[in-house]
């Protein structure tokens, strides 16, 4: 058994990484729904889920159980094979795109091997192109779902949604070309390293400054691509009766749901990697005191959770919250005490904070902006966003030709 493991060590390591990452991504998805409901609720001056567990933290669990136990009807006359295939396809593609994202620069040395953080090998030459390929295939999940439900509303919603997705896919890929020109490679790690060329510039060396047009095009196109507010006309509840997922209930609806939130996470990862320096710290490299920032964030947060916990209403909250707070504080203290761990945690900490920031902006936009009408949406994508991203490509190539990739 041991020799079998040793012979296929690469395979075993990859499988372990996949399982771990799937677990983490699905948990993050669940708590992202909680986060969204809380934030949107507070924007709308109400509380959001706060009964199920302390601060509503067990709400995703309740939702999951509801999805599992609800009745699962299949519409009459629906094409069974395609009806079951569509959510499966959407979920598989969304989860596959997480495999390409690198989560840390340095490999961990375990069992005498270098284990890179991130499933795809570090020298994947077509990193971002593979992500676009997976996004391009994502249109099928929506289109087939709308068609196979044998219902007028679903068909219209599915057609509208997939037309929206392929229109904004163009601007999405074009807006990234500027970043690729500056980095000279499709590989995501190379893109981050290209932004680290001037470590003294810190925040100002990131791609967002030279590529501000590209960043806005990419972010807007990505929101439209993931069918989120304000571009969520095809699936909003007040419009076409929830659009292409009208006829989907319980677990299949949950699969679409998870696919949407996972693609949100992927887009946030991409934004932070390509435009905001990925795992680079915004402070110049010479300010070594900022290496304690993870602890500076974690320890007060943990203490605040403890203080909130001891005065919470329910007994369950009074038991659980202080423990959670103590764990967070202990983690923060650990980083102060063990310097090598502190160095290791810098890169993932910054990447995760940036991803969190983008997710917050996503949710913020959902709570604040009104929806686009469908013709406004298509006009915006073709007549404004696509020309702007093309202009961005032309400008960037002109600048690089004249002055080299600064």
Partner 1 sequence: MTAPLVVFFVLAALAVIGAVSLILQKHPIHSALSLIVVMVAIAGLYLLMGAEFVAAVQIIVYGGAIMVLFVFVIMLLNAGVEEHTNLSKMAGAPGLLLVLALAGFVAATVAKSGASVQATSQTGALSSTKGISEMVFKDFVYPFELTSFLILVAILGATVLAQREKS
Contact residues for partner 1, defined by CB under 8 A? 79, 81-82, 85, 125-126, 129-130, 132-133, 135-137, 139-140, 143-144, 146-147, 155, 158-159, 162-163, 166, 169, 186
The number of helix segments (H) and strand segments (E) in the chain equals 14, 2
**In the bound complex, what is the minimum distance in angstroms from residue 136's beta carbon to partner 1?**
3
Give the nearer residue to partner 1 in terms of CB position, either 133 or 399: 133
**In the bound complex, what is the minimum distance in angstroms from residue 386's beta carbon to partner 1?**
13
**In the bound complex, what is the minimum distance in angstroms from residue 226's beta carbon to partner 1?**
16
Give the nearer residue to partner 1 in terms of CB position, either 198 or 383: 383
Give the nearer residue to partner 1 in terms of CB position, either 89 or 264: 89
* C-beta separation of 249 from 71 below 8 A: yes
What CA–CA distance (Å, rounded) separates 237 from 230?
A: 13
Give the nearer residue to partner 1 in terms of CB position, either 129 or 324: 129
Give the nearer residue to partner 1 in terms of CB position, either 147 or 253: 147
Beta strands 113-115 and 108-110 are: antiparallel
| 282 DSSP assignment | S
**In the bound complex, what is the minimum distance in angstroms from residue 118's beta carbon to partner 1?**
18
Give the nearer residue to partner 1 in terms of CB position, either 163 or 363: 163
**In the bound complex, what is the minimum distance in angstroms from residue 125's beta carbon to partner 1?**
5
**In the bound complex, what is the minimum distance in angstroms from residue 254's beta carbon to partner 1?**
23
Q: Which long-range CB contacts under 8 A does 352-359 form with residues at least 24 apart?
A: 354/268, 354/271, 354/272, 354/276, 354/277, 354/278, 355/265, 355/268, 355/269, 355/272, 357/272, 358/267, 358/268, 358/271, 358/272, 359/32, 359/35, 359/264, 359/265, 359/268
* C-beta separation of 128 from 141 below 8 A: no
């Amino acid at each position: 058994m041991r020799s079998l493991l040793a012979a296929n060590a690469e395979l075993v390591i990859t499988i372990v990484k996949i399982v771990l990452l799937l677990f983490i991504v699905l948990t993050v998805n669940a708590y992202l729904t909680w986060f969204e409901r809380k934030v949107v609720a507070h924007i709308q001056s109400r509380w959001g889920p706060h009964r199920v567990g302390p601060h509503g933290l067990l709400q995703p669990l309740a939702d999951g159980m509801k999805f599992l136990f609800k009745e699962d009807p299949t519409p009459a006359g629906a094409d069974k094979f395609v009806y079951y295939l569509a959510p499966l396809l959407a979920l598989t593609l969304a989860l596959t795109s997480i495999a390409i994202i690198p989560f840390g620069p340095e490999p961990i040395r375990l069992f005498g091997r270098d284990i890179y953080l991130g499933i795809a090998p570090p020298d994947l030459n077509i990193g971002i192109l593979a992500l676009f390929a997976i996004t391009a295939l994502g249109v099928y999940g929506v289109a087939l779902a709308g068609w196979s439900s044998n219902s007028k509303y679903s068909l219209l919603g599915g057609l509208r949604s997939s037309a929206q997705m392929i229109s904004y896919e163009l601007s999405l890929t074009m807006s990234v070309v500027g970043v690729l020109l500056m980095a000279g490679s499709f590989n995501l790690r190379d893109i981050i390293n290209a932004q680290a060329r001037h470590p003294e510039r810190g925040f100002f060396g990131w791609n967002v400054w030279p590529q501000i047009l590209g960043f806005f095009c990419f972010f807007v196109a990505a929101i439209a691509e993931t069918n989120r507010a304000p571009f969520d006309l095809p699936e909003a509840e007040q419009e076409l009766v929830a659009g292409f997922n009208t006829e989907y209930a319980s677990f299949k609806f949950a699969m679409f749901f998870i696919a949407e939130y996972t693609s949100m996470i992927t887009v946030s990862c991409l934004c932070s990697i390509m435009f905001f320096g990925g795992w680079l710290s915004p402070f110049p490299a010479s300010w070594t005191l900022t290496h304690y920032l993870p602890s500076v964030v974690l320890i007060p947060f943990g203490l605040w959770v403890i203080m909130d916990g001891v005065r919470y209403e329910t007994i369950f909250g009074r038991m659980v919250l202080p423990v959670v707070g103590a764990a967070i504080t202990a983690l923060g203290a650990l980083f102060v005490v063990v310097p090598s761990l502190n160095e290791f945690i810098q890169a993932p900490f910054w990447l995760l904070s940036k991803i969190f920031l983008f997710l917050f902006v996503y949710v913020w936009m959902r709570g604040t902006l009104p929806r686009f009408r469908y013709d406004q949406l298509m006009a915006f994508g073709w007549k404004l966003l696509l020309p702007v991203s093309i202009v961005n490509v032309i400008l960037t190539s002109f600048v690089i030709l004249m002055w080299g990739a600064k």
